[in-house]
Amino acid sequence: MSIEPKEYQAPVWHEPVIHQMGAPGRRGVLFSRVEDEIEAGVGPAADLIPEAVRRRDRPALPELSEPEALYHYLRLSQQTLGMMGISLFGTCTMKYNPSVNEAISWRPEITEVHPLQHDDTLQGTLEIVYGMDLILRELSGMDQFVFQAGGGAEAAYVNCAVTRGYHAARGELEQRNEIITTIQTHPSSAATAATAGFKVITLMLDENGYPSLDALKAAVSNRTAALMVNNPDDMGVYNPEIKEWVRIVHEAGGLAFHDSANFNGIIGKLRPREIGFDACMFMLHKTFGAPKSGVGGPAVGAYGCSAELAPFLPSPLVAFDGHRYRLDYDRPQSIGKIREFWGNVPVVVKAYAWSRSVGAEGMGQVSDLSVLANNYMEKGLLAIRGVTRSHPDATSPRLEMTRYSLQTLKEETGVDIHDVQNRMTDFGIDAPWTSHEPWLLPEPITPEAGEMWGKEALDNWIAVLKKVSDEAYSDPELVKTAPHNQAVHRLKPGVIDDPDTRAMTWRAYQRKTAHQSARRRASPGEVPGQPGE
Amino acid sequence: MTAGATLGLIINPVAGMGGSVGLKGTDGEDVLREAWRRGAQPAAEKRARAAVTRLTESVTPLRVLTGSGESGEDVVRAAGLDVEVVHRAAPGPTTSADTRAAADVMAARSVDLLLFVGGDGTARDILAVVGDGVPVLGVPAGVKMHSAVFGTSPRNAGHLAALFLAGSPAARLREAEVMDLDEAAFRGDRLSARLHGYARSPYERHLSQNAKAGSGVGSEASLQVAARQVAAGMRPGCLYILGPGTTTRRVADALGLPSTLLGVDAVMDGRVVGADLDEQALLEVMRGRETWIVVGVLGGQGSLFGRGNQQISAEVIRRAGRERIIVLSSLEKLIALRTAALHVDTGDAEVDAMLAGYIRIETGPDRSTLYKVEA
């Protein structure tokens, strides 16, 4: 590889906090005085606000001119730390979201409708939602999808609620109070199972990189309510015994849920239902090309299940009788609502547009390219000094991502994964993902190439990690003090961990710094951290 | 880096020598003489150098209190650090008394961290003097390392020490078991490990982000709730044997009962039936009662039975039955073990075989995992 990584330079604006800007009385817009005639008609403007909710004092807001406010936020936007570099953020399936899909979802036919309109006036919107349902049924083998969940974790929760409904209907809920998951399944499975009132059994990995069948057999019993598992898991490992897993869980009377978060590695190749799973979940904001919008942003966790479980799905479902689409609320066994209405429709529209443009054949290419790109990267990355792979001897295939460890690099140079993350951003690479907690593998790093980046971008990513490794061995201080080209340097540890210094609002910051100055005066020996750095 | 961090460094120069020549330990002068006779080479200094080098890469300035010559001074001077010799060994081989004397001064001077280079024997000597007074971290160099106070390698121990001295939130203190085998018995192929106590020892929290605020509920808090659940789930009229250690102590605490940290207690219906019991006493109180055994995972090598809790003998386990064993441990502790399986060595092959296979471990509120048990 002959790429010489080029350093990047982020703009540094040294912007103060907005509360420290402006001057008393300065305004963005000056409104004209209310004319006497109008005031005589309606009374003073302030009286239009009911007494009980009227402020006693003016709000302590910043006072700025319009350009000052505009430039301030423009500058801050230029100092964001990512989403503009090469972003191979493992377990997240980062994709470019085509502008045309964005434009479609901003059309008034989407933005100006309301979920409480009469079905007759929503036929086009309902058709798109129903169309997405059909596409996902085809990809998963499931019989019905629902789009209500606002994200992946919420869809995992739908599964727990459906599991509860299913066992309750059979009179077994009290007995079946355990959900089995694995340590490399996304932690939201364990978390939502616990939230729904189940006991959680988490299986650890065997030498092969996935839990053994014996561990599963030791875990199942007549208390088993369900299995919740990623496959491929959060390290890109595909459990080749998964069919047997599902069989064992079914035999024990439990349900099997496939968290299809990592579906990019198998899309168009495998249907969870054909493996035996009773339900699955897709994140439209990952695999299906809608923006990820940051964790918790407008997203959709599309949950699908077998016909046997469908009566328990949240309401409403979008139904079609061959002529007309309608929202079906008449579902007596439904678990009710997980979230308001019937889903983040703009996200469904973007995913639908993405799916239709990629097409059935293209879906198969998505997994081909993702797996190919990951394996291409693996060759390049394992050639870098200090980089090793998890379970190096395991024969289980890695699909769309691989978990690497920089433990050797750390032992030999003192440079750890966080230093490497920081230094990579100096070259225009978005800080790579490490691993969910707990870290099973020390100093983890998990790039996921996906299908959309070209070979040049992947080569560049590899070349940057190689460059940083070289630097770690020749000049470790350079890496340990990174980033050097970013808008901000690394945060001082401690300040944001300590409730005494951590501040989420300006008012809290002022209160806590005042408190600290008082403390400093009281005990001169103690020097608390400086917030705001 | 806080200006003027003070490190205590104790090197047991002969640590590990017995192991290389098949002596299973280096405790005591006779054994050391035999090790020399068999041609053993001291390796502790090299390991000490690896750790100190790593430490100095990150932490400056640093003041080091240490012993003279090969018990620390040489390595510290070679690393170019500010050194103060606080103990001079008498001519001849360094002894356990030297370790204790040096540790005593360091504890009195309240060093920020006591870093030692040695094995279980050294750890035990230091614990005996400093208790939980100062944080202790071991650079692995001994033959026996069942204690949980060691870094995973000399360089990693140095790295961890640096993080801790720099006040990094990634380095936290935990209660770490100090265990030691009876070497004479070990050489006679009989294993007898005792839990000697708990040192306060730093460990590295692995976080997705550096210094991430409020990263999950602490492992300790999860364990606390799991212990409360065990206490709340105790059945009337059943005897519960509580093994040694801080993990099982949480169960006694949840019951509002006193407990023996390094010994085995028995409780029933919210009362202590017997404290610090040996095997015979346990068999006695078990008679005619359905009995449950509550144990933690002991030491850095993941021992379930047979190391540090021998009172819970093969016979006790046999009578209670495998399905009445409750194991408690934090997930963090399990992952940090230097092994993928838990070990049992009850001295009875039949009981060991009965215990083998997957066993459930309570890790938090309504959270559990399964771990493989091997003899």
Contact B372 A215 (CB under 8 A): yes
pLDDT at A356 over 60: yes
Contact A347, A131 (CB under 8 A): no
Q: Which residues contact A426 (CB under 8 A, 6 or more apart)?
A: A7, A8, A482, A483, A484, A485, A486
Our CA-based measurement puts residue A442 at a distance from the nearest CA of chain B, in whole angstroms, of 8
CB contacts of B208 in chain A (<8 Å) are: 434-437
Which residue from A minimizes the CA distance to B331? Answer: A438
- Chain A window 407-436: which residues touch B at a Cβ cutoff of 8 Å? 410-411, 414, 418, 434-436
Q: What DSSP assignment string belongs to B119-142? A: -HHHHHHHHHHHTTSS-EEEEE-S
Instruction: Report the C-alpha gap between B350 and B172 in whole angstroms.
Output: 41
CB contacts of B365 in chain A (<8 Å) are: 194
Q: CA nearest A355: which of A289, A273, A426, A286? A: A289
Instruction: Report the C-alpha gap between A194 and A197 in whole angstroms.
Output: 5
pLDDT at A235 over 70: yes
Best of A91, A186, A201 to substitute, by most chain B Cβ atoms within 10 angstroms, is A201
Q: Which residues contact B282 (CB under 8 A, 6 or more apart)?
A: B241, B264, B266, B274, B311, B312, B313, B316
Structure tokens at B330: 């934090």
Q: Which CATH class is domain B5-204?
A: alpha beta
The most confident of A270-279, B175-184, B198-207, by mean pLDDT: A270-279
SS3 B357: strand
Q: Report the greatest alpha carbon distance in chain A.
A: 86
Higher pLDDT among residues A518 and B255, named by residue: B255
Contact B198, B175 (CB under 8 A): yes
pLDDT at A294 over 90: no
Contact B208 A436 (CB under 8 A): yes
Q: CA nearest B302: which of B133, B177, B170, B129? A: B177
Contact A281, A139 (CB under 8 A): no
pLDDT at A483 over 50: yes
Instruction: Report the C-alpha gap between B218 and B234 in whole angstroms.
Output: 25
Digit-coded pLDDT (tens) for B135-164: 999 999 887 788 999 988 888 899 899 989
Digit-coded pLDDT (tens) for B75-116: 999 998 889 999 998 877 778 899 999 999 999 999 999 999
State chain B's mean pLDDT as an integer.
Answer: 88
Number of C-beta neighbours around residue B262 at 10 A: 15
Quickly state the pLDDT bin for B186 (edges 50, 70, 90).
low
pLDDT at B182 over 80: no
Phi, psi of A70 (to 5 degrees): -65, -50
Q: How far is CA B177 from CA B115, B146, B184, in A?
A: 16, 8, 21
Contact B206 A437 (CB under 8 A): yes
Q: Which of A194, A410, A414 sits opposite B366 (nearest CB)?
A: A194
Q: Where are the domains of chain B?
A: 5-204, 219-374
Number of C-beta neighbours around residue A364 at 10 A: 14
Q: How far is CA A343 from the centre of its chain?
A: 17
Instruction: Report the C-alpha gap between A161 and A339 in whole angstroms.
Output: 13
Q: Does A203 touch chain B (CB under 8 A)?
A: yes
The residue assigned the tokens 């040049």 is A456
pLDDT at A333 over 90: yes
Position B183 scores a pLDDT of 65
Contact A329, A315 (CB under 8 A): yes
Instruction: Report the C-alpha gap between A510 and A336 in whole angstroms.
Output: 45
Please, which residues bridge with residue B242 across strands? B265, B294
Position B82 scores a pLDDT of 87
Beta strands at A301-305 and A144-146: parallel, antiparallel or unpaired: antiparallel
Quickly state the pLDDT bin for B329 (edges 50, 70, 90).
very high
Higher pLDDT among residues A523 and A423, named by residue: A423
Contact A198 B366 (CB under 8 A): yes
pLDDT at A523 over 60: no
pLDDT at B355 over 60: yes
Q: Which of A218, A418, A437 sits opposite B358 (nearest CB)?
A: A218
Quickly state the pLDDT bin for A525 (edges 50, 70, 90).
very low
Would you tell me which CATH number, out of the four given (3.20.20.70, 3.40.50.300, 3.40.366.10, 3.90.1150.10), belongs to the domain A361-480? 3.90.1150.10
Q: Helix H segments across B59-217?
A: 73-78, 96-108, 120-130, 154-165, 183-187
Phi, psi of A83 (to 5 degrees): 65, 10
Our CA-based measurement puts residue B369 at a distance from the nearest CA of chain A, in whole angstroms, of 5
Q: Where are the domains of chain A?
A: 18-78, 101-355, 361-480
Quickly state the pLDDT bin for B270 (edges 50, 70, 90).
very high
pLDDT at A334 over 90: yes
pLDDT at A49 over 80: yes
Instruction: Report the C-alpha gap between A99 and A105 in whole angstroms.
Output: 10
Contact B230, B362 (CB under 8 A): yes
Quickly state the pLDDT bin for B200 (edges 50, 70, 90).
very high
Contact A437 B366 (CB under 8 A): no
Position A417 scores a pLDDT of 95
Contacts 24+ apart (CB under 8 A), A492-498: A492/A529, A492/A530, A492/A533, A493/B167, A493/B168, A493/B169, A493/B170, A493/B210, A493/B211, A494/A529, A494/B167, A494/B169, A494/B211, A495/A529, A495/A530, A495/A531, A495/A533, A496/B211, A496/B213, A497/B169, A497/B211, A497/B213, A497/B214, A498/A529
Q: How far is CA B216 from the centre of its chain?
A: 25
Q: Does A437 touch chain B (CB under 8 A)?
A: yes
Q: Does A229 touch chain B (CB under 8 A)?
A: no
Structure tokens at B134: 């100062």
- Fill in the DSSP letter of residue B114: E
Q: Which of A215, A411, A476 sits opposite B358 (nearest CB)?
A: A215
CB contacts of A406 in chain B (<8 Å) are: none
Residue type, B267: V
Contact B368 A201 (CB under 8 A): yes
Contact A214 B335 (CB under 8 A): no
CB contacts of B159 in chain A (<8 Å) are: 410, 414
Contact A199 B54 (CB under 8 A): no
Burial class (CB in 10 A: 0-12, 13-18, 19+), B166: middle
Quickly state the pLDDT bin for B212 (edges 50, 70, 90).
very low
Size of interface A-B (CB pairs under 8 A): 88
Q: Which of A190, A476, A497 sits opposite B211 (nearest CB)?
A: A497
Beta strands at A317-320 and A325-328: parallel, antiparallel or unpaired: antiparallel
Q: What are the residues of chain B with a beta carbon less than 8 Å away from any beta carbon of chain A? A: 54, 57-58, 153, 155-156, 159, 167-170, 206-211, 213-216, 331-332, 334-335, 340, 357-358, 360, 363, 365-372
CB contacts of A204 in chain B (<8 Å) are: 334, 340, 369-371
Please, which residues bridge with residue B291 across strands? B239
- Fill in the DSSP letter of residue A255: E
Instruction: Report the C-alpha gap between B367 and B357 in whole angstroms.
Output: 20
Cis, peptide link before residue A50, omega less than 30° from 0: no
CB contacts of A415 in chain B (<8 Å) are: none
Instruction: Report the C-alpha gap between A40 and B111 in whole angstroms.
Output: 78
pLDDT at B217 over 90: no
Q: CA nearest A273: which of A93, A150, A186, A144? A: A144
Contact A440, A205 (CB under 8 A): yes
Q: How far is CA B2 from CA A414, A418, A479, B135, in A?
A: 20, 21, 22, 17
Instruction: Report the C-alpha gap between A276 and A121 in whole angstroms.
Output: 39
Q: A101-355 maps to which CATH number?
A: 3.40.640.10
Position A373 scores a pLDDT of 97
Position A193 scores a pLDDT of 98
Cis, peptide link before residue A108, omega less than 30° from 0: no
Q: Lowest-pLDDT range, A121-135, A165-179, B191-205?
A: B191-205
Number of C-beta neighbours around residue A503 at 10 A: 18
Residue type, A75: R
Our CA-based measurement puts residue B236 at a distance from the nearest CA of chain A, in whole angstroms, of 22
Our CA-based measurement puts residue B179 at a distance from the nearest CA of chain A, in whole angstroms, of 25
Position B60 scores a pLDDT of 67
Our CA-based measurement puts residue B308 at a distance from the nearest CA of chain A, in whole angstroms, of 26
pLDDT at B206 over 80: no
SS3 A491: coil
CB contacts of B213 in chain A (<8 Å) are: 496-497, 502
Our CA-based measurement puts residue A490 at a distance from the nearest CA of chain B, in whole angstroms, of 9
Mean per-residue pLDDT, B307-323: 94
Please, which residues bridge with residue A325 across strands? A320
Number of C-beta neighbours around residue A373 at 10 A: 24
Mean per-residue pLDDT, A174-201: 97
